[in-house]
Amino acid sequence: MELIASSRIVKAQQRVEASRPYAIQLTDAMEDLARNSGSFTHPLLEERQEPRTAGVLVCTSDRGLAGAYAANVIKEAEGVLASVRERGLEPVIYVSGKKGVGYFRFRGVPIEADWQGHTEVPSYDVAERIGRRLIDDFAAGTIDELHCAYTDFRSAFTLRATAKRFLPIAPEEVTGTSEETVHPEYLFEPEPERILDHLLPQYLITKVYAALLESAASENAARRRAMKAATDNADELMKILTRQANRARQDEITTEIMEIVGGAEALAATSEDDDG
């Protein structure tokens, strides 16, 4: 399992790296659109005046044997839920992965929606289903904001459970604030507002997809680390048990030899008494 996880880390890391240029270009395109459309409003950018509910998307794993991977991200999610409750908001939970589903169901916590069977190799289709459901719930008023708890993959040795707000999208994420950059001029067809209306949902779906990819890479890294520790512990245990077995066998052989020698001496003593 350690070798399998090691091979999957490389592929997962490649998927993370491959998704970043798309996210960067999408953000740049939205910045150009926002700059050319002037002031604009959009439902996904709307800060609710009196929020009542807050959605929390928890990205866990479908399988175990990954050390504290699932426990760490669930702990981070519990922190977000506590923060939401302190603000007087009602949390609405969305879960990706069987481990998170089992955790909340065991404690009787209601789950608004869950998605399972994809965490090791998440596809864009899954991210789109999740993103569309979250967008629909935000538009319908089921949730007034959205937070996501997932594991940030820095490297195979550096994993960190983190939480970020996804909705409403912060205006500074799409408007751009740098004054030193020279931006090209574009002619847009259709109008920038209509293009933004299509790109903003894609932007959220891309963020969900990135969180799933980061979580998948982190899961495999955590599993490799856990399996390496298990292998090392098993090897050490084998050495200890082999040493104990050899010592017990040596003690048994020594005891048998002493019994044989003792018996031979007793027979020799008996023979001398008979001769005498």
| pLDDT tens readout for residues 175-212 | 555 454 445 555 556 666 677 777 788 888 888 998 89
Kindly state the helix (H) or strand (E) to which residue 244 belongs, with its residue range: helix 192-275
Tokens of 91: 């949390």
| pLDDT more than 70, % of the chain | 83
| pLDDT tens readout for residues 19-65 | 778 777 777 777 666 666 555 667 777 788 888 999 999 999 988 88
Peptide bond into 91 cis (omega under 30): no
> Where in the chain are the domains?
2-225
| pLDDT tens readout for residues 103-120 | 999 999 999 999 998 888
3-state secondary structure of 152: strand
Kindly give, in sequence order, each residue whose CB lies less than 8 Å from that of residue 199, ignoring residues fewer than 6 positions away. 26, 29, 30, 33
**CATH class for the domain made up of 2-225:** alpha beta
- The pTM of the whole model exceeds 0.85: no
